[in-house]
Structure 1
Amino acid sequence: MVNLTPKEMTWINDLKSQEKLCIEKYRQYAQRACDNRLKTLFQELEQNEQSHLNWLEEMGRGQVPAQVSGTQGNQNKQAQQNRQESCTDCGGENMCSQQDWQQDQFLCQDALSMEKHVSSAYDTGIFEFADPQFRQALNMIQKQEQEHGEKIYQYMAQNNMYH
């Protein structure tokens, strides 16, 4: 059990607020996206952000989150799969209009900006914690936030949304 300083608790509470916002945005974005691949990506990211929130809840109680081995590998495999697939929904049964495509592009741009911001918050927050295991946990979350950004970027690049 780690005794947290008031400053560390403030950081945890701020990061929890960020994660809650990410969860809600991804939930809404999954509902609003036209492309089914993008809906799935947003749902996946929502689940990842929920895991981050759970870790932060544990940390707020002074507990070091359990390290789950294999999580990174599965996320990397999914990212590679996403890169290899084309936007079948944009030209298949779920035909997205130009307006829908622009909406999906906006959602991606906003999500990418959000991931950049959240990753930056973790980057700074890591240095505010005394316990090395807490710093390691925050570092792992930050790495996953960067991977989220990469997944969004890859989707955008595949669909001519990133210029």
Structure 2
Amino acid sequence: MVNLSSKEKFLLEGEKYQQQLAIDKFNDFTLHAKDDNLKTLFSNLSKIEESHLNLIDEMLQGKVPLINNKSIHPYYESNTFNSNNYLSVGGMMLTSLDNNYSYEDGDKIICFDALTTEELLHYTYNISKSEFEKSEFNDIFEFIINEKNENIKYINEYMNKKGMYNNTIYF
């Protein structure tokens, strides 16, 4: 059992709050996305965020959660984003050869929102990690930060493959 300082509890409560916001957002994005592949992507991201929330809940209870370091993204069958020609995520395949660069403006807006959300979470976890650097929770923070990196890559790759960076977006 880990005894948490009031500052550590405060930071974990903040991460918990941000995680719940991300889950709610991604669940909402799943419902409102027009592209079925994007719905799958957001559904998977929501599951990943739920796993992060569970880790935070365990830490708040003073427990050191067990993590599976071998599987950074348990909800993705293949994290192949090395190729410029294709992206395979959770059973969906996007290729640059599809000639399907069309997307709904709403999908583009929620993708940018999702990207910003993941970048914010990545940042806050990095800040919190510095407080836990010499604790039993350091590896947990490192694990979550690595998953945030992967989430950002997947959203970016989806947006690249769909051509969402090729023109201006107006909010």
Range into which the TM-score falls when normalised by the shorter chain: 0.7 to 0.9
* Residues 122-131 or 107-116, more deviating: 122-131
Asked if 1:104 is matched to 2:107, the reply is yes
Residue 118 of structure 1: aligned partner: 121
* Cα distance between partner residues in 1 of 2:29 and 2:73: 25
Residue 38 of structure 2: aligned partner: 38
Asked whether the equivalents of residues 69 and 143 of structure 2 are also in contact (C-alpha less than 8 Å), the reply is no
Moved over 6 A (4+): none
Deviation at 1:130, TM superposition (A): 5.6
Deviation at 1:129, TM superposition (A): 1.8
Deviation at 1:76, TM superposition (A): 6.5
Asked whether the equivalents of residues 153 and 162 of structure 1 are also in contact (C-alpha less than 8 Å), the reply is no
> Larger % of strand: which?
2
Q: TM-score, normalised by structure 1?
A: 0.86
Secondary structure in 2 aligned to 1:132? coil
Residue 6 of structure 2: aligned partner: 6
Q: Over the residues paired in the alignment, what is the CA RMSD in angstroms?
A: 2.5
Asked whether the equivalents of residues 112 and 153 of structure 1 are also in contact (C-alpha less than 8 Å), the reply is yes
**What's the % identity of the aligned pairs?**
30
Q: Name structure 1 gaps, 5 residues minimum.
A: 92-97
Residue 152 of structure 2: aligned partner: 149
> Larger % of helix: which?
1
In the alignment of these two chains, the number of paired residues is 157
Q: Name structure 2 gaps, 5 residues minimum.
A: 167-171
Residue 128 of structure 1: aligned partner: 131
Q: TM-score, normalised by structure 2?
A: 0.82
Q: Which amino acid aligns with 2:9?
A: M
Say if 1:51 and 1:127 are closer, same or farther in 2 by CA, change over 3 A. same
Deviation at 1:71, TM superposition (A): 2.1
Asked whether the equivalents of residues 15 and 121 of structure 1 are also in contact (C-alpha less than 8 Å), the reply is yes
* Residues 101-110 or 129-138, more deviating: 129-138
Say if 1:144 and 1:105 are closer, same or farther in 2 by CA, change over 3 A. same
